[in-house]
Amino acid sequence: MVIATNLGFPRMGAKRELKRLVENFWAGKIDENALLSGAKKHREEHWSLQKNAGLDHIPSNDFSFYDQVVDHSYAFGVIPARYKNLKPGLETYFAMCRGLQKSGVDVEACEMKKWFDTNYHYIVPEFDSNQQFNLNATKIITEYNEAKAVGIQTRPVILGPVSYLLLGKPARGSPQEFEPIQLLSKLLPLYEEILCKLAEAGATWIQIDEPCLIRDLPPTLKDEYTSAYNALTKVSPKLKILIATYFERIGTNIDFIIDTPINAIHIDLVRSPGQLEPILKRLPSTVSLSLGLINGRNIWTANLDDALAEAQKAVTALGSERVFIAPSCSLLHTPHSVQNEKKMDSEMLGWLSFAVEKIHELVIISKALNCGVDSVQAELDVNRKSIQSRRTSSRIHDPIVQEKMKSLTPDMFKRKSPFRERQQKQKQKLGLPLFPTTTVGSFPQTKEVRSIRAKLKKGDVTLAQYDEFMNKEIEKCIRFQEGIDMDVLVHGEFERNDMVEFFGENLQGYVHSENGWVQSYGSRCTKPPIIFGDVSRPKPMTVEVIKYAQSLTKKLVKGMLTGPVTMLQWSFVRDDQPRKDTTYQLALAILQEVQDLEAAGISVIQIDEPAIREGLPIRKEDWNEYLQWAVDAFLLSSCGVDCSTQIHTHMCYSDFNDIIEAIQRLDADVITIENSRSDLKLLNAFEKREYTNEIGPGLYDIHSPRVPSTEELKTRLKEILKYIPKNLLWVNPDCGLKTRGWKEVEAALKNLTDVAKEFRAAEAGC
């Protein structure tokens, strides 16, 4: 029998119940018991749901209060020294995730990084060269037992030891030559202990994720993989091991594990359909193959006939006993269920499939294979109709957009003069001081802001009431920035629920879900809008609001837009044309907005591209092609302005060193860039003069509620000045402030502008 499996279920719940639970706990509104029992109930619901849908292998330990990687660190006692004085348990755990500032305690969060090429963020483990591991928590076993107690046999998921170490970094102050992977032999006994306990508890399968196997890896890692899986497969004859890879092809890295006695391997056939045939040939007769056929990264209804045909190939080659039907990766990256969408038309709904529906698709495929196609004829007919209607719908193709795409010229991809000339003109026009201060754009999205937006959606307030409220927020924000002497002001982005969704709502070719939330980090979720057709901008989107903000002050107000690559990356994207074409369509729409802002007298315009790095293909050989069109798309959106108009961009969350050339080619006049969580690594590129335009490396980490002191900011700024010439340096936080509260923002930004002024004065004194 073919087995229908899932690799992980989205954690948040149909209505983001987990988010509310955790945030209530942080706010002190519920106690630890309420948190734990609420979470338990939540997990049970998700297990039952998957079981009732007919899934054979149901994952457990895919749940987390914040992130699965930090769960492993906590479980293995990989807790950096700075947290050692905190209370063990949730206080320590959440301090690692978010930092902690309370009476007598002030400790920063661990670094956060994007999970491969997704918009999910994990907490980076920090390893000491003499790291001691100890099994500090056994969440994986507790959760397995919990499911078992309600009659559900699960397949626990654990991040494999090699990937876990590779995803971590050496703790500050570690010896140069130390690499976390050197700790493998010390770490393995903990994995063995866990596997042993799971086998004793009755588990029959374990899913060990080794996502690093899809990266470019040095051949030397074969030894580590081999020793890890030779050891783990020995633990218990009762416990079978599935190694899961996803997000890319495994390629020749399959050699690293395939000769160890593992029982099954999972491959992503959505990203890399081409890998099926070579792997079928390579698979030893003792190993089963889990086929990642249903897209875990997108929301389109799968073409079940196509998926079935692929699955059939595997069944023919291996026999049905050795085939699993699975999503391409954990469904963590998809929203919960289409059933919660009450406002979409039925044609659109038929095109969409979220986690619950994807599980249904998996079950249909496995049933077709196990009981014959006739047994699912009705389901297949519905599926064929939906596929056909999407292919032919007139809602998707816009001849005007197609025409514009055909008339792009090379001039549209470059500024009218080189940076140095523009910089002069901008100096004259804008009259900014040395070390100009600014923010990245958003200010606190308070309860009131969110609630009035919700009320507007429900029709509980009129548009006029809403606008009046927003104008007051903007005015408050402008006055605050004037009060602390900020140089380039922002309007605060109060009207935006999300930097991508807001624009999506104002563009043609997009559709929006009510509940299509996907976890981004911790309790933070985004609701990616869905690009289903050709994109265009029916009317200006931000011009009125920016004009209003500018009318309140003599200082410069920056226009704030989201760039085409980020729009693409953080949307669910149509899969019926190349991503490049969709991005260019977005770029053309943004360009119109940029030009309208300029015409309205706005001379500083920021086009955020936080996601450009995350769009980078995982395999290096695929980079150039992507970077070429991604940078071109940004250029297309930003070049059609006068030289005296200052274009800013912003990036965050990632290592940028490896794409510094591409960042230079964006030719933004100013870039504000996150670097405070990554230990100033980024700045090396500037020392080498690989980047020559103006830049504001984030002076402090906004992901944590702690307020940086002026001393801390000064130290940071001094450090930065070792790398960046003063005439290029901007002073700003590392990202937008929407998730923060006003109190901490006021204090932090006041410190920031004070420090900039002090440095300015010192320069003037010289």
- Write the binding mask 579 to 608 for ligand MET: x where contact by CB under 6 A, - elsewhere: -----------------------------x
Nearest alpha-carbon partner for 193 in 134, 115, 126: 134
State which of residues 240, 297, 738, 740 lies at the interface with ligand MET (CB under 6 A).
738
Decide if residue 499 touches ligand MET (CB under 6 A): yes
**Distance set, CA 562 to CA 71, 499, 500 (Å):** 33, 6, 7
Nearest alpha-carbon partner for 267 in 285, 282, 259: 282
User: What's the CA gap between 604 and 583, in Å, rounded?
Assistant: 23
525 is in an annotated binding site: yes
Between 50 and 442, whose beta carbon lies closer to ligand MET? 442
Q: Which residue has the tokens 């990989």?
A: 78
State which of residues 640, 736, 745, 748 lies at the interface with ligand MET (CB under 6 A).
736
Site for Zn ion in 98-117 (CB under 5 A): none
Q: Binding partner of residue 560 among ligand MET, Zn ion, none, CB under 5 to 8 Å per kind?
A: ligand MET
Decide if residue 527 touches ligand MET (CB under 6 A): no
DSSP class of 273 = G
Q: Binding partner of residue 442 among Zn ion, ligand MET, none, CB under 5 to 8 Å per kind?
A: ligand MET
Do 653 and 111 touch, CB atoms closer than 8 A?
no
Binding piece for ligand MET, criterion CB under 6 A, among 356-364, 381-389, 659-667, 733-741: 733-741
* Residues with Cβ within 8 Å of residue 446, at least 6 apart in sequence: 741, 742
Do 439 and 733 touch, CB atoms closer than 8 A?
yes
- Write the binding mask 634 to 673 for ligand MET: x where contact by CB under 6 A, - elsewhere: ----------------x-x---------------------
Stated as kind and residue range, the H or E segment containing 275 is none
State which of residues 525, 652, 682, 745 lies at the interface with Zn ion (CB under 5 A).
652
- The CB-of-89 to ligand MET minimum distance in angstroms stands at 31
Query: How many Cβ atoms from other residues are within 10 Å of residue 731's Cβ?
Result: 27
608 is in an annotated binding site: yes
- Write the binding mask 296 to 335 for ligand MET: x where contact by CB under 6 A, - elsewhere: ----------------------------------------
Q: Binding partner of residue 329 among Zn ion, ligand MET, none, CB under 5 to 8 Å per kind?
A: none
493 is in an annotated binding site: yes
User: What's the CA gap between 61 and 211, in Å, rounded?
Assistant: 17
User: What's the CA gap between 567 and 557, in Å, rounded?
Assistant: 23
- DSSP assignments along 376-438, one per residue: GHHHHHHHHHHHHHHHH-TTS--HHHHHHHHT--GGGGS-SS-HHHHHHHHHHHH---SS-BB
- DSSP assignments along 590-626, one per residue: HHHHHHHHHHTT--EEEEE-TTTTTTS-SSGGGHHHH
Kind of pairing between the strands at 508-511 and 530-536: antiparallel
Decide if residue 610 touches ligand MET (CB under 6 A): yes
570 is in an annotated binding site: yes
Binding piece for ligand MET, criterion CB under 6 A, among 70-78, 333-341, 434-442, 578-586: 434-442
- The CB-of-534 to ligand MET minimum distance in angstroms stands at 26
19 is in an annotated binding site: yes
Q: Binding partner of residue 557 among Zn ion, ligand MET, none, CB under 5 to 8 Å per kind?
A: none
Q: Dihedrals φ, ψ of 247, to 5°?
A: 80, -10
User: What's the CA gap between 512 and 202, in Å, rounded?
Assistant: 43
Q: Binding partner of residue 441 among ligand MET, Zn ion, none, CB under 5 to 8 Å per kind?
A: ligand MET
* Residues with Cβ within 8 Å of residue 623, at least 6 apart in sequence: 616, 617, 659
**Distance set, CA 30 to CA 25, 64, 203, 218 (Å):** 5, 18, 33, 48
Decide if residue 560 touches ligand MET (CB under 6 A): yes
Between 332 and 735, whose beta carbon lies closer to Zn ion? 735
Decide if residue 141 touches ligand MET (CB under 6 A): no
Q: Binding partner of residue 499 among Zn ion, ligand MET, none, CB under 5 to 8 Å per kind?
A: ligand MET
Residue nearest to ligand MET (CB): 736
Q: What angle do CA 629, 630, 636 make, to 5 degrees?
A: 80
DSSP class of 681 = G
Decide if residue 441 touches ligand MET (CB under 6 A): yes
679 is in an annotated binding site: no
Decide if residue 610 touches Zn ion (CB under 5 A): yes
State which of residues 157, 311, 735, 752 lies at the interface with ligand MET (CB under 6 A).
735
Between 124 and 317, whose beta carbon lies closer to Zn ion? 124
User: What's the CA gap between 632 and 70, in Å, rounded?
Assistant: 37
- The CB-of-737 to ligand MET minimum distance in angstroms stands at 7
Between 367 and 648, whose beta carbon lies closer to Zn ion? 648
Q: Dihedrals φ, ψ of 512, to 5°?
A: -125, 135
Nearest alpha-carbon partner for 696 in 528, 488, 473: 488
State which of residues 61, 68, 442, 569 lies at the interface with ligand MET (CB under 6 A).
442
Do 158 and 558 touch, CB atoms closer than 8 A?
no
For the record, the structure tokens of 670 come out as: 């100013």
DSSP class of 560 = E
Binding piece for Zn ion, criterion CB under 5 A, among 210-218, 245-253, 577-585, 728-736: 728-736
674 is in an annotated binding site: yes
DSSP class of 340 = G
- The CB-of-611 to ligand MET minimum distance in angstroms stands at 8
Q: How many CA atoms lie within 13 A of 175 on its CB side?
A: 6
Decide if residue 733 touches Zn ion (CB under 5 A): no
Q: What angle do CA 189, 190, 191 make, to 5 degrees?
A: 90
119 is in an annotated binding site: yes
Q: Binding partner of residue 738 among Zn ion, ligand MET, none, CB under 5 to 8 Å per kind?
A: ligand MET
Q: Dihedrals φ, ψ of 114, to 5°?
A: -70, 140
- The CB-of-562 to ligand MET minimum distance in angstroms stands at 7
397 is in an annotated binding site: no
Note if 397 is an active site residue. no
Site for Zn ion in 470-499 (CB under 5 A): none
Decide if residue 748 touches ligand MET (CB under 6 A): no
Decide if residue 735 touches Zn ion (CB under 5 A): yes
Do 357 and 338 touch, CB atoms closer than 8 A?
yes
For the record, the structure tokens of 203 come out as: 């588990």
Q: Binding partner of residue 111 among Zn ion, ligand MET, none, CB under 5 to 8 Å per kind?
A: none
268: helix, coil or strand?
strand
Decide if residue 591 touches Zn ion (CB under 5 A): no
User: What's the CA gap between 619 and 3, in Å, rounded?
Assistant: 30
Q: Binding partner of residue 495 among Zn ion, ligand MET, none, CB under 5 to 8 Å per kind?
A: none
Catalytic member of 121, 333, 491, 703 = 703
Terminal alpha carbon distance of the chain: 80
Binding-site residue numbers for Zn(2+) are 650, 652, 674, 735
Binding-site residue numbers for L-homocysteine are 608
Residues that bind Zn ion (CB under 5 A): 610, 652, 735
Binding-site residue numbers are 19, 119, 493, 524-525, 570, 608, 650, 652, 674, 735
Residues designated as active site: 703
Binding-site residue numbers for 5-methyltetrahydropteroyltri-L-glutamate are 19, 119, 524-525, 570
Residues that bind ligand MET (CB under 6 A): 440-442, 493, 499, 560, 608, 610, 650, 652, 735-736, 738
